[in-house]
């Protein structure tokens, strides 16, 4: 009886509050209920640097987790003003399921595609680290940028995996880049993080563990490049041979800058705003059992 009385009191109070808020817009109600939402939106969209466009390059390939990863990433991008998303599928032609997903978010984007040749794909029992990943897709994105932007535009280029985790403040750091900026990346290289070690805003050395011979031992998520460098080095493409494993970052940075020229961002490379997370591969074993029983389904093309 006591619980029913309390529930009834809650309902009457809630209805009263609803009546009082009829003149308040739904978005204002949301900010009133969750005032923490206001900070990233206000800070991002009112930042004077937000006038600088970011071209974000994201290779993606068909897998069971793909739609979930892209959905999570797209919803983060709502907090980021003036960003243009370049999605490149590892497919012979663009798939409708990805195009429908991208259109549903109403974010500025272009949807491209190119298939990685079979001989460069990992075999069934081979780690994905043993083959170059996303390089053909990144090269197509660079080609698109050079054909569709002006070399004098004040804009930035950033490479973003579809399953990484991004703090909204990362994009504020990207907009500070004048030439090439660097910052830490979490959960990468068999460490909690890799990072440049900076003194007075310049890179002194690197904190890292694996692939010790890398000239620039950072993850692809750990730097951004000014658009004019992409145009200046217009012949640059990623080396797509299998011998380039672990060298994508060093290839492009060694072409376009030097360690002395790198700009340390994220509070002198002391803050982590991006994590090299990797979605756990789902073992869809029940599908095979359904097929053996004569039952089939194919939702991946519908989602």
User: Annotated catalytic residue: which of 89, 173, 194, 249?
Assistant: 249
CB 250 within 8 A of CB 213: no
Residues making up the binding site? 163
What is the model's pLDDT at position 64?
Answer: 87
CB 161 within 8 A of CB 272: no
**Which residues 6+ apart lie within 8 Å of 174 measured at CB?**
54, 156, 158, 181, 224
Q: Give bridge partners of residue 191 from the DSSP assignment.
A: 188
What is the model's pLDDT at position 280?
Answer: 74
CB 76 within 8 A of CB 169: no
Residues making up the binding site for Mn(2+)? 163
pTM: 0.86
Give the pLDDT of the chain (303 residues) as one tens digit per residue.
333 333 333 333 444 444 555 577 887 888 888 888 888 888 998 999 999 999 999 999 998 899 999 999 999 999 999 999 999 999 999 999 999 999 999 999 999 999 998 877 776 666 555 566 789 999 999 999 999 999 999 999 999 999 999 999 999 999 999 999 999 999 999 999 999 999 988 999 999 998 888 999 999 999 999 999 999 999 999 998 756 667 899 999 999 999 999 999 999 999 999 999 987 776 666 666 667 777 665 655 544
The dihedrals phi and psi of 176, each to the nearest 5 degrees, come to -85, -10
The dihedrals phi and psi of 128, each to the nearest 5 degrees, come to -65, -20
Token couple for 32: 């009133």
DSSP per position, the chain: -HHHHHHHHHHHHHHHHHHHTTTS-HHHHHHHH-GGGHHHHHHHHH-GGGGSEEEEEEEE---TTHHHHHHHHHHHHTT-SSEEEEEEESSSS--HHHHHHHHHHT--EEEEE-PPPGGGS--TTS-GGGS--SHHHHHHHHHHHHHHS-TTS-EEEEE--TT-EE-HHHHHHHTT-SSEEE--EEEETTEEEEEEEEETTEEEEEE--SSTT-SS---GGGEEEEHHHHHHTTT-----SGGGTT-HHHHHHHHH--GGGPEE-HHHHT---EE---PPPP--HHHHHHHHTT-----TTT-
**Could you give the CA distance from residue 45 to residue 42 in angstroms, rounded to a whole number?**
5
Q: In terms of Cα–Cα distance, which of 278, 294, 303, 293 is closest to 128?
A: 278
28 is catalytic: no
- Cβ burial 110-146 (10 Å sphere, 16+ → b, else e): ebbbbebeeeeeeeeeeeeeebbbbbbbbbbbbebbe
């Amino acid at each position: 009886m006591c619980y029913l009385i309390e529930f009834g009191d809650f309902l009457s109070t809630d209805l009263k509050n609803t009546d009082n808020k009829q003149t308040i817009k739904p978005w204002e109600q949301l900010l009133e209920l969750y005032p923490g939402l206001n900070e990233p939106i206000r800070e991002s969209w009112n930042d004077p640097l937000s006038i600088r466009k970011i071209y974000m390059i994201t290779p993606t390939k068909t897998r069971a987790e793909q739609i979930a990863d892209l959905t999570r990433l797209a919803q983060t991008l709502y907090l980021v003003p003036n960003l243009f998303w370049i999605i490149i599928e590892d497919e012979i032609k663009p798939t409708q399921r990805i195009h429908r997903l991208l259109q549903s978010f109403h974010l500025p984007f272009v949807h491209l595609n190119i298939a990685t040749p079979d001989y460069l794909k990992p075999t069934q029992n081979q780690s994905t680290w043993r083959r170059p990943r996303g390089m053909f897709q990144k090269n197509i994105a660079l080609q698109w940028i050079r054909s569709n932007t002006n070399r004098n535009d004040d804009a930035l280029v950033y490479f973003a995996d579809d399953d990484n985790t991004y703090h909204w403040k990362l994009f504020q750091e990207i907009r500070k880049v004048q030439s090439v900026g660097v910052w830490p990346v979490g959960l990468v290289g068999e460490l909690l993080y890799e990072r440049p070690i900076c003194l007075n805003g310049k890179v002194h050395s690197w904190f890292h563990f694996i692939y010790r011979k890398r000239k620039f031992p950072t993850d692809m998520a750990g730097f951004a490049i000014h658009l004019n460098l992409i145009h200046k080095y217009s012949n640059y493409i990623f080396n797509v041979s299998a011998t380039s494993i672990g060298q994508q970052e060093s290839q492009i940075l060694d072409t376009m800058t030097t360690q002395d020229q790198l700009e340390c961002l994220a509070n002198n490379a002391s803050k982590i705003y991006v994590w090299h997370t990797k979605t756990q591969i789902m073992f869809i074993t029940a599908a095979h059992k359904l097929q053996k029983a004569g039952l089939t389904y194919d939702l991946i093309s519908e989602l």
